[in-house]
């Protein structure tokens, strides 16, 4: 059972589990407009079962567990846009923080044998306390989102230690793909590059282009989630590439891929600056490599190239 199944990671994870022969149930909150396009794009929508429910509603979680009788539960549901979390801190706390606790409580009550995955985030490191962040690095969240994720992370650890749940926390660094939402910087850039290439747009307006992120490919990262639940006991794992780049460098890769020059189009717009910034993230995935045998395979250049190509396809005349 996957919560947040209509998001980027939910779609890739659903595909991975279906390929492995799993029966996949996805929890679907009845909010907003069409959120199923990613599942359609990967061709997995018809192969899985959606259950109406929401991580903010414990009764719906208990019902979903009763319906799906899950062996593995992946909690990917969140208000996951960091920028929005300053405007909606209470909603973010409710969905991203308490939502995880509702699900842990539902698992404890109704499916204590099930294995549980919590989508933790490198945003919890925030104002970094070590130049490379691993499972032992102290946390210092810098956004309401990071603080909510940290609560959910520690509650996952607590349910493992207090109630003996097989509960794991994947501390994933930024991970992107052609299915990334347009509100995140990589997809905003690759969509803009495609529009500029096709003569549909002239400018790309960004905030802090000096921020550095350790960017990987979401398709690689869902493998790590699955591997965590195949271990004899639950644990915490950093999932990252071990290499970072600035937003500006990532933009240069995207523009170069399309035969364009960044300087001709970039406009720095203070409207996209955040009240507090996470300046640098750089993960150390050594434990995931040693224990899970997991390694990232997709470079930033390949990833960004793939995203630009897909956006050109989406927007191009042959659409
Ligand atoms: O793409 P972003 O919005 O991702 P951010 O804030 O790092 O968060 C993502 O990764 C986390 C893992 O570390 C996840 F937990 C979280 O859910 C999400 O997936 O921004 C990346 C960087 C930031 O420093 C931001 O200030 O890009 C900078 N940036 C500069 N201009 C911009 C923009 N970000 C966005 N979204 N839009 C801009 O115009």
What phi-psi label fits residue 139: left (phi over 0), alpha (psi between -120 and 50 degrees) or beta?
beta
Q: Which pLDDT score is estimated for 32?
A: 59
Q: Which pLDDT score is estimated for 135?
A: 98
Q: Is 138 exposed, middle or buried (0-12, 13-18, 19+ CB in 10 A)?
A: exposed
Q: Is the CB of residue 79 less than 8 Å from the CB of residue 96?
A: yes
121 is annotated as an active-site residue: yes
167 beta partners: 116
Residues with CB under 6 A from ligand 1: 80, 82-83, 121-123, 173-174, 183-185, 188, 206-209, 211, 213, 247, 272, 274, 277-278, 281
Report the run of H or E that residue 91 belongs to, with start and end: helix 89-92
Q: Which pLDDT score is estimated for 317?
A: 78
- DSSP assigned state of 133: B
301 is annotated as an active-site residue: no
Instruction: Set out the domains of the chain in order of their start, with CATH numbers.
Output: 2-175+215-239 (3.40.50.720), 181-213+244-281+299-315 (3.90.25.10)
In whole angstroms, give the CA distance from residue 264 to residue 252.
11
In whole angstroms, give the CA distance from residue 6 to residue 183.
16
CA-nearest residue for atom 15, ligand 1, is: 121
299 is annotated as an active-site residue: no
Question: What separation in Å is there between the alpha carbon of 232 and the centre of ligand 1?
Answer: 34
Q: Which pLDDT score is estimated for 240?
A: 98
Q: How many CB atoms lie within 10 A of CB 23?
A: 14
The candidate with the shortest Cα–Cα distance to 272, out of 148, 191, 184, is 184
Catalytic residue among 68, 85, 123, 221: 123
Q: What are phi and psi of 66, to 5 degrees?
A: -60, -40
Sign of the dihedral through C-alpha 228, 13, 171, 53 = negative
Q: What are the per-10-residue average pLDDT scores of the chain (319 residues)?
A: 97 98 95 82 97 97 98 97 97 98 98 98 98 98 98 98 98 98 97 98 98 98 98 98 98 98 98 96 98 98 98 84
Question: What separation in Å is there between the alpha carbon of 233 and the centre of ligand 1?
Answer: 32
Q: Is the CB of residue 152 less than 8 Å from the CB of residue 77?
A: no
């Amino acid at each position: 059972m996957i919560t947040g199944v209509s998001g980027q990671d939910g779609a890739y994870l659903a595909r991975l589990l279906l390929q492995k022969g799993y029966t996949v149930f996805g929890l679907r909150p009845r909010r907003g407009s069409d959120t199923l396009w990613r599942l359609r794009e990967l061709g997995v929508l018809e192969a899985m079962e959606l259950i109406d429910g929401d991580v903010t509603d414990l009764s719906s979680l208990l019902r979903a567990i009763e319906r799906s009788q899950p062996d593995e539960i992946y909690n990917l549901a969140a208000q996951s846009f960091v920028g929005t979390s300053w405007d909606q801190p209470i909603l973010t706390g409710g969905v991203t923080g308490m939502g995880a606790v509702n699900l842990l409580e539902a698992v404890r009550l109704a499916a204590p044998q099930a294995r549980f995955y919590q989508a933790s985030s490198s945003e919890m490191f925030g104002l970094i306390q070590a130049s490379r962040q691993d499972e032992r690095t102290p946390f210092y969240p810098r956004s309401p989102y990071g603080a909510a994720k940290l609560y959910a992370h520690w509650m996952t650890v607590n349910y493992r230690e207090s109630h003996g749940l097989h509960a794991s926390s994947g501390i994933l660094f930024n991970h992107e793909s052609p299915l990334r939402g347009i509100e995140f910087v990589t997809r905003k850039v690759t969509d803009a590059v495609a529009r500029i290439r096709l003569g549909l747009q002239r400018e790309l307006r960004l905030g802090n282009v000096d921020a550095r992120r350790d960017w990987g490919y979401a398709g690689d990262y869902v493998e790590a989630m699955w591997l965590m639940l195949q271990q004899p006991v639950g644990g915490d794992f950093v999932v990252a590439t071990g290499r970072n780049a600035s937003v500006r460098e990532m933009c240069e890769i995207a523009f170069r891929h399309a035969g364009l020059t960044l300087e001709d189009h970039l406009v720095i717009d203070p409207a996209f600056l955040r009240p507090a910034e996470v300046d640098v993230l750089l993960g150390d995935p050594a434990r995931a490599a040693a224990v899970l045998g997991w390694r990232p395979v997709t470079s930033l250049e390949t990833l960004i190239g793939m995203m630009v190509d897909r956006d050109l396809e989406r927007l191009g005349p042959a659409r």
